[in-house]
Amino acid sequence: MNQTDSSCPNFQARLETASVLVHRAIDAVRQKRIQKRNLIWLELTGCSGNIISLLDGANPDFKSLASQMVNFIYDNSLMAAEGEAAMDQLFRLTGGDYILAVEGAVSTKNDGLYNIIGRRKDRPVTAYEAIKKFGEQASCVIAVGTCASDGGISAARPNPAECVGIQNLLKRKVIKLPGCPCHPDWFMGTLAYVMLFGEPELDDRQRPLMFYSTLIHDICPRRPYFDQGIFASKPGEKTCMFKLGCRGPVTRVDCPIRKWNERVNWPIGDDSPCIGCAMFGFPDKMEPFISYDTT
């Protein structure tokens, strides 16, 4: 059997984890067994790729999340309000009950003035201020993507804005969902679990084990080539890309099972080595992304 054969009951169950959790949460909200939660999504120092990824979710999809599971209070890319009206909508939740999702690292140089997310009462609101204010008060904080989890590309050398992951600034536990970007299933499944049961089981880096427990290398469909010592010598070849610099052997996440873009494909399926984007220290510790010294 192929190592990631979709007929394997264990892998099929893992693939459906997010969908099952989200539908259970929606059903619990509908039956008033749990409350619909307020959700704040802050886009800090980054590319906004995680909110774009979330919009591309399928079964569960973003519409189900935003209309049936949570009150999506704030996200600057999605909300209709602009300018100070948007900031007022965000700050109205001060002291209230909400779950905070954060994408992007936090610029700390010059008290955060390298990243301003808006203006309120004629003064700038920095990412630094926003994470300190809303991060400490939230009922739960979820770092969405590698930048929020560990600094990521925003904190890559030479890091002129002195960016850090959000955990560096908060005196509380943060659930981390690294990935560049985070898969929509990883976020929606984690959020649903939090709503239903509380904090999920985490590893020593605060990643949910239901998504981050297995090395890509161990469930890669090209693992049989590795075991037989059959390695690609250049991109495009269909064998194991370990000698091209594939980071699957050190990266814990379930991309081979879950895939991307409505489960159509993933990097190795498109003959591109894994670059370890879901690993702490990405990108600096994962470079070079490809090696041509395959001897």
* C-alpha distances out from residue 201 to 112, 151, 194, 211, Å: 33, 23, 10, 10
- Where does CATH 4.10.480.10 sit in the chain? 216-286
Rounded Cα distance, 102 and 258, in Å? 23
Is-cis flag, bond preceding 288, omega within 30?
A: yes
pLDDT per residue over 189-198, tens digit each? 999 999 999 9
CATH for 9-211, options being 3.40.50.2300, 3.30.450.90, 3.30.200.20, 3.40.50.700: 3.40.50.700
Q: What is the pTM of this model?
A: 0.94
Q: What would the mean pLDDT of 16-44 be, rounded to a whole number?
A: 97
Cβ neighbourhood burial of 290 (10 Å; 0-12, 13-18, 19+): middle
**CATH architecture of structural domain 216-286:** Irregular (4.10)
Percent of the chain exceeding pLDDT 90 equals: 90
CATH 3.40.50.700 domain span(s) along the chain: 9-211
Give the model confidence (pLDDT) of 224-246 as tens digits: 999 999 999 998 999 999 999 99
pLDDT at 7 over 60: no
Encoded amino acid at 198, one letter: G
